[in-house]
Amino acid sequence: MRETKNIFDSTISSLKLQYWLSIAVLASFFLLIIFDLIPFPFEKNDISVTLERYAIVITIIAIPAALKLFAVMLKKVPSSPDTELVVKSYKKASSIRLLIINVATLMNISLYAISGNMNFFWFTIVLFIIYVFCKPSYPELANLAEKGKESVQAESEIKNIENIQ
């Protein structure tokens, strides 16, 4: 049990480092854009309405898709007492969720930098709020591993009952 706890602690700490680094980098970039501290070789231009609409639709789809995909990936983790499999699956799901939100955030920051359009500014703010729901959690990982152990125990009890009959 102690070894499992260490694996979970190291996994969550590495995922949290990845989480906070991505937020710090994107927030720094966003602040540099807001205060015009990054010199761009071009002036802020209007972007086409079509590109704006596609960017907004991509953002609106990316937010629930990232959160739902994470939940679906965790549901598909096989019931196994193997903690390494559970940790690997949780890392993969968490990284994919964070990557999707990072890409959407970077897209909106970049489009705000190019166009100065406030729609992209506000979507970026919303995406930074979404990060609150993407923070890796120890209880979530522990519950996922516990489900696998409970499932294996239930299966062994059923086999014991069948052998008795």
State which residues form the domain around 92. Answer: 2-149
Contact between 52 and 117 (Cβ < 8 Å): yes
The verdict on residue 13 lying in a domain is yes
Confidence of residue 155 (pLDDT cuts 50, 70, 90): low
The number of domains in the chain is 1
The verdict on residue 155 lying in a domain is no
Give the integer Cα–Cα distance in Å for 99 and 147.
26
The verdict on residue 46 lying in a domain is yes
The verdict on residue 164 lying in a domain is no
Q: Pinpoint the alpha helices (H) of 35-82.
A: 49-75
This prediction has a pTM of: 0.85
Mean pLDDT for all residues in the chain: 87
Contact between 133 and 145 (Cβ < 8 Å): no
The verdict on residue 67 lying in a domain is yes
DSSP 108-158: HHHHHHHH--HHHHHHHHHHHHHGGGG---HHHHHHHHHHHHHHHHHHHHH
The verdict on residue 81 lying in a domain is yes
pLDDT in tens, 51-102: 999 999 999 999 999 999 999 999 998 877 788 888 999 999 999 999 999 9
| Residue appearing with tokens 């906070």 | 20
Cβ count near 98 (within 10 Å): 21
Question: 65-74, 123-132, 133-142: which has the minimum mean pLDDT?
Answer: 133-142
The verdict on residue 161 lying in a domain is no
The verdict on residue 59 lying in a domain is yes
